[in-house]
């Protein structure tokens, strides 16, 4: 099967084919977000940060199997960063805000509890489309890597284009700032178990729906492992990987060291995502861990998995429809291994993003969503 995406994207297919505390502190009158993505305005005064109506998030929470919101705030004119720090902070339970370029989309920051761990999520959905009986299309977007973040305002094009097609998107993150993780113990098995468990929960809630794993960067490898670990009975309808880590962990560390030594630079530490202004220090309380740069890649993988690459996990996903999109100029993830994957892994559609590095623009995001729709969601 051969497919083609125009305008800079060339696609080709392989030949085979919670316990509630007794008292909750009131939310602050205002919040300050220290780190702001370029071009994002933040509502951080009382007039723009108002409490939501009681139970207003309940329909979306029920549809997506998330934790209930005891209280929440609505940001009408901004997209605050630092979503990962909201969970566990007694002053911030949930938050919603509107996106100026997509006024019908609700962006919701909350949490999901899996095997006793309360994990931050960011969900994107059309607030007009919450009927409980409708078969749903849901994408679990797994973000991974030392410099990544699940916060709104950062790389939102993929989820926003998916929502335009009636898809619900839920982001989970395994990044330089970790919440509720097993770090410094290796986190890979923990992460793939959490992703697979959440997918299973969604399948139980939506037996007639369509559920797709979308993994970005390190999240692509995590999602591939999670898909291979799922039981034989279908849980997900597809696996999409965008700029996934193709290297093994050992190869990735060696590659990053080589890249930075060639530039005569030191490998930077992962930026510490600062808290919303608050007297509570989640780092000193042990509720957050900031993982320095390459330590995420060194420490994330148990010794038994440090030599396993993406292809070894994809080999366990036979019968599952898959898409792998890679950047033509991506020097981080191991593009040299793509040819072997395309040759040996069945049911895989490989998409080459021409002139792209490890990141992609809005136009490419639209084309990737079109391809995902045709493969998994229509």
Q: Is residue 371 part of a domain?
A: yes
| Closest listed residue to residue 200, CA positions, set 178, 232, 166, 222 | 232
The residues, ordered by sequence, that sit 6+ positions from 26 with a Cβ below 8 Å of its Cβ are 71
Q: Is residue 10 part of a domain?
A: no
Q: What is the CATH number of the domain that holds 317?
A: 3.40.50.1820
Q: Give the pairing of strands 137-145 and 117-126.
A: unpaired
Q: Is residue 13 part of a domain?
A: no
Following DSSP, what letter does each residue of 35-73 receive, concatenated? ---TT-----STTTEEEPPTTTTHHHHHHHTPPPPSSEE
Specify the pLDDT at position 292. Answer: 53
How many domains in the chain? 1
Opening angle at CA 157, ends 103 and 3, nearest 5: 125
d(C-alpha 275, C-alpha 368), whole Å: 33
Q: Is residue 4 part of a domain?
A: no
Q: Is residue 85 part of a domain?
A: yes
Coil, strand or helix: which one is 183? coil
Residue 85: φ, ψ to 5°: -85, -10
The distance between the two most distant Cα atoms of the chain, rounded to a whole number of Å, is 60
Question: Structure pTM?
Answer: 0.81
Specify the pLDDT at position 61. Answer: 92
Question: In Å, how far from its chain's centre is CA 78?
Answer: 21
Label residues 163-182 b or e (16+ Cβ within 10 Å = b). beeebbbbbbbbbbbbbbbe
Residues of the chain short of pLDDT 50, as ranges, are 1-48, 77-81, 87-88, 90, 179-180, 270-283
CA distances to 49, 55, 57, 130, 334 from 52, rounded to whole Å, are 9, 8, 8, 17, 45
Specify the pLDDT at position 77. Answer: 45
d(C-alpha 149, C-alpha 286), whole Å: 20
| Closest listed residue to residue 305, CA positions, set 194, 187, 219, 220 | 187
Q: Is residue 19 part of a domain?
A: no
Domain extent, residue 151, equals: 32-377
d(C-alpha 4, C-alpha 10), whole Å: 5
Q: Is residue 23 part of a domain?
A: no
- Helix (H), strand (E) at residue 111: strand 102-114
Q: Is residue 5 part of a domain?
A: no
Handedness of CA 185, 186, 189, 194 (dihedral sign): positive
């Amino acid at each position: 099967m051969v497919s083609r995406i125009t305008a800079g994207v060339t696609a080709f297919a392989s030949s085979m084919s919670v316990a509630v505390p007794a008292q909750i502190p009131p939310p602050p009158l205002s919040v300050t977000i220290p780190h702001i993505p370029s071009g994002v305005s933040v509502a951080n005064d009382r007039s723009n940060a108002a409490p939501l109506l009681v139970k207003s998030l309940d329909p979306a929470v029920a549809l997506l199997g998330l934790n209930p919101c005891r209280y929440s705030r609505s940001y009408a004119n901004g997209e605050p960063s630092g979503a990962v720090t909201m969970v566990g902070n007694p002053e911030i339970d949930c938050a919603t805000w509107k996106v100026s370029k997509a006024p019908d989309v609700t962006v919701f920051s909350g949490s999901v509890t899996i095997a006793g761990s309360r994990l931050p999520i960011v969900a994107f959905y059309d607030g007009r489309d919450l009927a409980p009986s409708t078969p749903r299309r849901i994408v679990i977007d797994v973000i991974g890597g030392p410099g990544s973040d699940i916060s709104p305002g950062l790389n939102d094009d993929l989820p926003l284009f998916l929502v335009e097609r009636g898809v619900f998107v839920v982001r989970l993150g395994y990044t330089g700032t970790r919440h509720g993780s097993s770090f410094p113990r290796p986190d890979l098995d923990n992460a793939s178990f959490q992703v697979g468990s959440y997918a299973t929960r969604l399948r139980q809630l939506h037996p007639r729906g369509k559920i797709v794993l979308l993994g970005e960067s390190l999240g692509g490898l995590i999602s591939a492992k999670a898909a291979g670990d799922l039981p034989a009975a279908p849980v997900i309808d597809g696996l999409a990987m965008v700029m996934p880590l193709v290297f093994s962990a050992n190869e990735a560390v060696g590659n990053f060291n080589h890249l930075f030594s060639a530039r005569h630079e030191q490998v930077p530490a992962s930026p510490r995502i600062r808290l919303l202004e608050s007297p509570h220090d989640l780092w000193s309380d042990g509720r957050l861990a900031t993982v320095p740069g390459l330590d995420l890649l060194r420490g994330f993988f148990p010794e038994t998995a440090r030599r396993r690459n993406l292809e070894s996990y994809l080999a366990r996903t036979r019968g599952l429809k898959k898409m792998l999109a890679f950047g033509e100029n991506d020097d981080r993830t191991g593009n040299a291994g793509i040819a072997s994957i395309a040759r040996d892994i069945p049911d895989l559609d490989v998409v080459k993003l021409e002139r792209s590095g490890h990141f992609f623009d809005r136009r490419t995001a639209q084309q990737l969503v079109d391809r995902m729709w045709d493969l998994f969601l229509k």
